[in-house]
Amino acid sequence: MIQTTNLIISSFVKKAFYSIGKNLQLILPALLLIGLAGSYIIGVPSMGMVGLVTLGPPFIGAAIVFLSSTEQDHPHSANIEVNVNPRFQSIVFFFLLALALFILHTNQSRPIEYFIVASAIYISILFRILASNNKHIVLIQIALVFMLSVYSVTLKYPFYIGNSDILAHLRYANHIYTIGTIVPENLAIAYNSFPLFHILIALSSEIFDVPVKYSWALIAPLMIVSTIPIVYKLSTLIFGRADMALCSALIFATLPDVVFYGQYMITRVAAAIGFFFALYLILKHNYDVRFAMLSIVFLIYLLFVHQVTLPQSIIILLLLYFAFSNRAYTNNQIFNMILLSTVLCIGYWVFVATSFTEVIIASRIEGLLEPRAVTTPSGSEQKFNSSNFYLNTYVTTFFLLVGIRKLLVSYDRELPYGLGVFLLITTPLYIPNPISSLWITQYLFRIDRFYLLLSPFLAITIGYSLFYLLKSDKVYRYLAVGSVCIFIITSVWAGTVAPVASDANQLTWTGPPKHLEESEIQGIEFVHKSVPNKVELNADRSSQRYINEYLQLDREHNSIKSIRVTGNSSENEGTILRAHRYENGGITVGPSEYRYRIDINNTPELLAKLEKSRSRVYDSGSVRLYLAQ
């Protein structure tokens, strides 16, 4: 009886998703109109217009493709021929790689020429994939250019700090390296019970006999490079086509979030890598005891390397369990992993990481009872001012929608169909929408942390959609190749989802650079050592976190606060100003949930206020210190 009921429910659900996919060309315009009307009803028409401009073109483009396609079209039988000599492509690849290295070596920052050459390298690999599917050579080429994009930042600048979390993690790793013990709970309540990443960096420093920040810059990015072949294997597992899988691996390596996190290698990135490996083992066809043990090892790794990635992984596994409801064997594997992950997570959080659990529950309850804002601040909307953002979003959304529709409508095989269901459910996490702009989802529950965990599915779908369009009408073939080239270029240049090109002086729209120069480091450290502890200091976000989370190994010093552009300052308050950066490119100020960019052009009153009400007691050219007169 229970089995019959399950079959009826499963059949009903499959028909429902088939109907959604079949009528997606009608649903998409309806969603646009509903969103636009809803924005006027709640009194924020600007949100509706941004949504219309951002999602309108890809929605309409996808609907046109749906109306002209048939259900029987599959990219599996497509014989795509591109006349590119593999040997010639290899010569071009290494020439462009050498040229990119030369450009990096002869410039202080990454110039526009570097981004042009990097885009050309990725595009050459794309044509190599379409011409010849020698998987080993292509995967090596993808890995090499990905490492170039990472090391061109982490090894080029004196101290790359990304969004500043790197500073705290390096401090914890340095504590382990110098003292030999895990960071005490009073110094790192969030990571005292989750120290695996810091232990890895400390061990690397010990083995190679280099400072912690150099071992991080050298070793940590290599971890995320290992996920490129995993994406290839996942795509092969689902679709069984090598060239499509290689294209998915290439797309994965160019996703803005993946590029950014390759440079910004912190605990949640290390955890995501473990999740990718565990996911492949769970979905693998010939699953046996050996793979089960390896999956358990990766789940335990997830538990110890980052706090919240395991709970997020459980949510993703639950969605996969629902999506693959017609595939009993895979579902049993997923269900077993959900049970094990839940037991591990609850047991460890409740009985070991007790202090952290109390803090995180209390902070979430407080945020729900007294939310600080409804939506994220306008300063976070800088990406909407960039044509790169729109082009990248158009291409990503277009390929995602085409892939979802074809997977739901055209497939009887359970893995591809299940992928389509999963993508349809998680679509709000991939594309801009009102849910992702809410303060509660963005900052309280950190919905943005799902982007990296879901990135393999997005890359696989774009690869599938590309090959579907290449098999279609000639117009769609040119559209597909051109769109992927645009996607690659805008991803390499992107200051879209994440600021992966903010260090380029010529691309001022990307925001303040995410690194500290050597002169800035020297100035900040001099001020920190020279100013008495009784003096209250404020600074921009990077300087603030560099002192609070990297230099200060104890809590005896006063914490540096963020610069206040407006309002009165206390009499005994000083300001550290990265003057050169403030005048060239801007600095970031404000607390975590209200960060915004200021510079000499849009906020000249800050400098005028400091020069008038404070004395400039130190000026290194890069860093100034203003104290009370």
Residue 374 DSSP symbol = S
Containing 338, the helix (H) or strand (E) segment is: helix 328-351
147 falls in which pLDDT band (50, 70, 90)?
Answer: very high
At residue 378, the pLDDT reads 41
For residue 379, pLDDT beyond 60: no
Does residue 40 or residue 5 have the better pLDDT? Answer: 40
At residue 472, the pLDDT reads 66
For residue 498, pLDDT beyond 70: no
4 falls in which pLDDT band (50, 70, 90)?
Answer: low
Using the structure block, give the residue that is written with the tokens 């051109």: 482
Residue 428 DSSP symbol = H
Q: Select from 580, 530, 582, 595 the least CA-distant residue to 557.
A: 530
Counting other chains too, the contacts that 471-477 makes at CB distance below 8 Å and 24 or more residues apart are 471/73, 471/74, 471/75, 471/77, 471/78, 471/80, 472/69, 472/73, 473/68, 476/65
Most confident of 42-46, 227-231, 338-342, 613-617: 227-231
For residue 13, pLDDT beyond 80: no
Does residue 442 or residue 152 have the better pLDDT? Answer: 152
Give 546's contacts (C-beta < 8 A, 6+ positions apart).
Answer: 161, 164, 167, 516, 521, 524
Average pLDDT, the chain: 80
At residue 316, the pLDDT reads 92
Q: pLDDT (tens digit, 9 = 90+) per residue, 244-297?
A: 899 999 999 988 888 888 888 889 999 999 999 988 888 876 666 777 788 888
436 falls in which pLDDT band (50, 70, 90)?
Answer: low
The tokens for 32 are 């646009």
Is 494:263 a contact under the CB 8 Å cutoff?
Answer: no
At residue 232, the pLDDT reads 95
Q: pLDDT (tens digit, 9 = 90+) per residue, 63-75?
A: 777 776 655 555 5
- The b-or-e profile of 460-472 (16+ CB within 10 A means b, else e) is bbbbbbbbbbbbb
For residue 500, pLDDT beyond 60: yes
The tokens for 262 are 């390759």
At residue 196, the pLDDT reads 92
Q: pLDDT (tens digit, 9 = 90+) per residue, 385-424?
A: 566 677 778 888 888 888 888 888 876 667 788 888 888 8
Residue by residue, DSSP assigns 82-136 as ----HHHHHHHHHHHHHHHHHHHHTSSS--HHHHHHHHHHHHHHHHHHHH---HH
Does residue 541 or residue 493 have the better pLDDT? Answer: 541
Q: pLDDT (tens digit, 9 = 90+) per residue, 93-138?
A: 999 999 999 999 998 888 888 888 988 899 899 888 887 767 889 9
At residue 201, the pLDDT reads 92
At residue 286, the pLDDT reads 63
For residue 495, pLDDT beyond 50: no
At position 530, the amino acid (one-letter code) is S
- The b-or-e profile of 66-82 (16+ CB within 10 A means b, else e) is beebeeeebbeebebee
At residue 245, the pLDDT reads 92
Does residue 569 or residue 167 have the better pLDDT? Answer: 167
Round to the nearest angstrom and report the end-to-end CA distance of the chain.
84
At residue 234, the pLDDT reads 93
Across 343-372, average pLDDT: 80
For residue 229, pLDDT beyond 90: yes
Q: Select from 67, 136, 76 the least CA-distant residue to 415.
A: 76
Across 578-585, average pLDDT: 84
**d(C-alpha 32, C-alpha 315), whole Å:** 28
For residue 146, pLDDT beyond 90: yes
At residue 71, the pLDDT reads 54
Q: pLDDT (tens digit, 9 = 90+) per residue, 26-37?
A: 777 787 788 777
For residue 208, pLDDT beyond 70: yes
Is 159:284 a contact under the CB 8 Å cutoff?
Answer: no
Does residue 401 or residue 52 have the better pLDDT? Answer: 401
